[in-house]
Amino acid sequence: MSEKQHWERVYTTGAPDTLGWYKSHLETPLAWIDELALSVESPVMDAGGGASTLVDDLLKRGYEDITVLDISSTALAIARERLGSGASLVSWVEGDITSVELPRHRFALWHDRAVFHFLTTASQRHKYVQQLRNALWPDGYLILGVFSHEAPPKCSGLPVQRYGPDDLLKVLGSDWIMLRTARELHVTPSGVEQMYLYCQLRHAD
C-alpha cells in the first residue's frame, strides 16, 4: 500500500475527532503564531494540515493567505466541508510534501504538526528540507511539532522518527536559529499518551 493509499484509508474509515493526532485547537502553535504578530496578509503554509482545525483558527484571526497541503484528498475535503463558505478563502493543495511543486519563497510561516516525524529515511527528510528552504521566505519562520524521544515508536500503524531539539537542528542544517522549544503531552482519543516536541525556528539565510 502506498503512503497516499494509507492516509486515504485512515481518513475514510475514521471520523477526524477519533484519529490519534486530533486536537480541537492547536494551542501551542497558535500561541506562538500570535506572539509572532505577523500581518494578516502574511502567507502561511500548513504542511500536512489535512483535516486539522488550525486553518479555522487562523481564519478567525483574520489571516488572508493560507495554504493547506496534504497527501490525502479525503482529509482536505473534510476540512473544506467543515469550513463551508470559508473554504474559498484558503488554497488547498493535494500532494506529497517531499515532491509536490511549491512556489519559491512564497511563505512567511511554515507550520507542520505530525508530518515530519513520518519521514523515516534520510532521503525523505532531505527532500522535505529542500522543499522548506525553497518555499519559505529567506528569513521566514518554522513551527514544527514532532514526536519526542519519549513518544511511542509508531503512530497510525506507521513507524515514526523521534526527536530532540539537537536532532532536529542536525537534520534541518546550520542555517536555522532555534527560538524556542516546548514539550507537550498529547493524549489520543483512545487514551494513548504521546509526548510531542514543538520547536519554533527562524531561517537565517
Residue 13 CA to residue 119 CA, distance in Å, equals 23
pLDDT for 34-62, tens place per residue?
999 999 999 999 999 988 999 999 999 99
Q: Are 202 and 179 in contact (CB under 8 A)?
A: yes
For strands 158-159 and 154-155, give the pairing.
antiparallel
Residue 185 CA to residue 196 CA, distance in Å, equals 6
Overall average pLDDT of the 143-160 stretch: 93
> Which residue do the cell numbers 527528510 mark?
125
pLDDT band of 20, cuts 50, 70, 90 = low
Overall average pLDDT of the 57-78 stretch: 96
All three cell numbers of 88: 474559498
Q: What is the mean pLDDT of the chain?
A: 93
Please tell me the predicted confidence (pLDDT) of residue 157: 85
User: Is the pLDDT at 117 greater than 80, yes or no?
Assistant: yes
Please tell me the predicted confidence (pLDDT) of residue 114: 84
Please tell me the predicted confidence (pLDDT) of residue 9: 87
User: Is the pLDDT at 205 greater than 80, yes or no?
Assistant: no
pLDDT band of 161, cuts 50, 70, 90 = very high
User: Is the pLDDT at 10 greater than 90, yes or no?
Assistant: no
DSSP string for residues in 78-101: HHHHHHGGGGGGEEEEES-TTTS-
Scanning 14-157, the segments in alpha helix (DSSP H) are 27-36, 54-60, 73-83, 122-135
Judge residue 185's burial from the number of C-beta atoms within 10 Å of its C-beta, 0-12 exposed, 13-18 middle, 19 or more buried. Answer: exposed
pLDDT band of 29, cuts 50, 70, 90 = very high
Name the nearest CA neighbour of 24 among 184, 198, 186, 194: 186
Q: Which residues contact 17 (CB under 8 A, 6 or more apart)?
A: 24, 189
Q: Could you give the percent of the chain with pLDDT greater than 70?
A: 97
Residue 184 CA to residue 196 CA, distance in Å, equals 5
pLDDT for 76-106, tens place per residue?
999 999 999 999 999 999 999 999 999 999 9
All three cell numbers of 5: 493509499
pLDDT band of 27, cuts 50, 70, 90 = very high
For residue 72, what are the CA distances in angstroms to 5, 49, 104, 119, 132?
8, 10, 23, 16, 20
Please tell me the predicted confidence (pLDDT) of residue 191: 85
Domains of the chain and any CATH numbers: 3-203 (3.40.50.150)
Global confidence as pTM: 0.94
